[in-house]
Structure 1
């Protein structure tokens, strides 16, 4: 009787120690809890790659100002001396101002092209943020999932550690064999290694969040705060296709690229027009003191027009390239439209499948697996079942929990991918 009382009190102490230890899981680094709304707002403000992409818009706007520039005039000065100093032939100075007069609407075509390229750049930036927002959300969800998986491994380890300690006492009391006691201790050590691996995966996902936030990684890491609730939606496929057609920035960019190619063709046509060279000059020749033919100093003013001979128009390579480029953008737009429709349909199918999986787990699979594990553990402690049956029940319960959290993540990720594909966004949790 005394032996069983010792066993009972020992198990009570182990249970208390287990509950105290279960609350301590990670003390290696400092944590800064961050909810999703704050996190995604900081990503939009502080992400370094996105900040760099924003400069493309400023550069494109500066190119518009560059396109407005007229050709610069040229001012030339000269000095002449016939070298006949003995005959006093004199010397002179000349100056000339030249300017190119562009014809054929070149300046207007350049400005139109620059404006269309700037608009295209703004659509590309919008599409960049669409993908950044979705990727950052998936990274946030991954951090949440890895924390839950770590909890599964840690709780399993603590439970097995408690069981191993209990088996050690039971072996000393002679109620179980040494093999069973050593086996449970070995399983606890194996599960601790799995805890270390899960801990590493979790920390890695948190470091990725710091990268997206544009933060230097120190001893403090951002920890996502939230749960996998709030991802249930009812969508109409046809409505999603319409939304994607109207909202996808990359499709707008593909359409705008057609305008850019048209502007490029217009500029190529304008470049085939001749430009006139306008010249205005003045020349001054000093007094010639030659005794045979003395000449007073003279000043002359001249103006002229130069007309280039555009033999290069016989080789219309630039024009043909622009024409082919415009035809190419037509097919690129159709391909982008087809890809977007396919993406929406695939994402919609994936989301419906994820919904069904979540409902399947919510039907009681977790509770059933937990009940089986508790029953096997209780029977083992009473000597009615083997340790192998307990280990099998533990592994089954772990797998069910891991699959459940994976399904929750897949469901949330499927919503993110669907809204990314449709060009809409109402994710908040």
Structure 2
């Protein structure tokens, strides 16, 4: 009897769609888990451009790599959602005496009803869409961080150069004051004031060195390098990012990854609600087998059908939860639209103000402050001005240049923030075009 029933059970298993599908996945290699990491670019030891910094970040950022891994994991959920329930092979032996024993071999196959499989696949695909948009949003965040940090390095380099020039000028002023004191033309107090001013400028130089080191580490840390190798950043610091119309930016906001992520979450929650709704329809289990009655001396075929009765558990609680979470996702979408719109408007205003301040400083204030300082220094060396006039002109020039650098930094940070909100990482972006100029 067992020899007759065993081939029947094996044949049922081999011709079952679920079993065949599992074998196909395992042997066909339709899905492969990759444990290898993406090749990482080598950080240059000389100059670093914005393009090279972006390449390093996109290739070696741990956060971006984690987002890619999440997308790969979500792809696996689609494969799992497509599979059908496994069959069940059951055997039953009645009586221990061989003469009166009854042996039953039965194959049970659950059949999903109510669109459960289609609902699972749809929910898994919505999860993949969410992971894809999450990867795009992460790329936009990484890009904005690189752009902002890169221009911080450029500005820190310029501030260091400015501090070094101020130290040289302060040394010249101290030397001139010392010579005038030796010649008896001015009081020794003038030389003391010059030395004090020189010490203050040297403090500014120390702060500028520290600020540059911090900016370099912050930039290299984006691609996971705690000790920067590049010597300096190369780019056109004075090139201001353009200011598009706010209406154009708002129109592009509708396709930003941050907003699409919230929209896809609504679709995903709706798909999950459909899964819970489909579970209210019970599955059917079809049974096929054979029964051997030793007492009667004959085999009997078995055909059965099992249907659960949804009397008490109709999955009502899970469905209600899924519907409420869908409503919450819609509320989150509205909140995200408002938040992104406000963030975009604020970044736009900051960029507009920074551009106006930079242009005013560049065209009007900086030339006048430098001219006044040059005239005061030359007049002091000729004995026409006091050292207080030189100190005042030097302080004014230094403050104007520092304000100019701060305005430049704010402009580039605001432009990078707009790119982060919009999620655009094109090569023709404002900051990219500004930093690639020699």
Q: Taking structure 1 as the reference length, what is the TM-score of the superposition? A: 0.81
Is 1:128 the counterpart of 2:138 in the alignment? yes
**Which of the residues 240, 244, 247 maps onto 2:253?**
244
Is 1:185 the counterpart of 2:195 in the alignment? yes
2:265 maps to 257
Give the root-mean-square deviation of aligned CA atoms. 2.7
2:355 maps to 355
1:4 maps to none
1:268 is paired with a residue whose SS is helix
1:364 is paired with a residue whose SS is helix
Map 1:216-365 onto structure 2 (within 5 A): 216-217=226-227, 220-221=229-230, 223-233=232-242, 235-245=244-254, 247-284=255-292, 295=295, 299-314=299-314, 316-365=316-365
Contact 1:347 1:421 survives alignment (8 Å) = no
1:312 shift after superposition: 4.1
Contact 1:209 1:222 survives alignment (8 Å) = no
1:286-339 CA distance string (max 9 Å, x none): 6xxxxxxxx475554433222223234456111112222222233332332333
Is 1:48 the counterpart of 2:57 in the alignment? no
1:396 shift after superposition: 1.5
1:212 shift after superposition: 1.6
1:311 is paired with a residue whose SS is coil
Q: 2: CA distance between counterparts of 1:192 and 1:229?
A: 25
Is 1:144 the counterpart of 2:158 in the alignment? no
Contact 2:102 2:291 survives alignment (8 Å) = yes
1:266 shift after superposition: 1.3
1:95-126 CA distance string (max 9 Å, x none): 43323211111011100110111112111211
1:360-402 CA distance string (max 9 Å, x none): 1132311211122222223333344333332222221111000
Aligned residues: 386
1:18 maps to none
Contact 1:210 1:222 survives alignment (8 Å) = no
Seen in structure 2, the aligned counterparts of structure 1 residues 47 and 296 have a Cα distance that, compared at 3 Å, is same
Seen in structure 2, the aligned counterparts of structure 1 residues 192 and 229 have a Cα distance that, compared at 3 Å, is closer
1:362 is paired with a residue whose SS is helix
Q: 2: CA distance between counterparts of 1:374 and 1:110?
A: 75
Q: 2: CA distance between counterparts of 1:186 and 1:231?
A: 36
Q: 2: CA distance between counterparts of 1:100 and 1:214?
A: 51
Contact 2:63 2:138 survives alignment (8 Å) = no
2:222 maps to 212
Per mean C-alpha deviation after superposition, the further-off stretch among 105-114 and 48-57 is 48-57
Contact 2:137 2:257 survives alignment (8 Å) = yes
Q: Which has the larger radius of gyration?
A: 1
1:132 shift after superposition: 1.8
1:127 is paired with a residue whose SS is helix
Structure 1: runs of 5+ lacking an equivalent:
1-29, 287-294
**Which of the residues 80, 98, 118 maps onto 1:66?**
80
1:75 maps to 89
Contact 1:231 1:415 survives alignment (8 Å) = no
Q: 1: CA distance between counterparts of 2:227 and 2:82?
A: 46
Seen in structure 2, the aligned counterparts of structure 1 residues 151 and 229 have a Cα distance that, compared at 3 Å, is closer
1:198-222 CA distance string (max 9 Å, x none): 111111111111112333526x235
1:31 shift after superposition: 5.3
1:373 maps to 373
1:175 shift after superposition: 4.2
1:148 shift after superposition: 1.2
2:308 is paired with a residue whose SS is coil
1:173 shift after superposition: 4.6
2:416 maps to 416
Q: 1: CA distance between counterparts of 2:386 and 2:289?
A: 110
2:302 is paired with a residue whose SS is strand
Q: 1: CA distance between counterparts of 2:70 and 2:231?
A: 30
Map 1:10-29 onto structure 2 (within 5 A): none
1:156 shift after superposition: 1.0
Contact 2:102 2:292 survives alignment (8 Å) = yes
1:230-281 CA distance string (max 9 Å, x none): 4353533322221222x21222222222221221121111011111223334
1:196 maps to 206
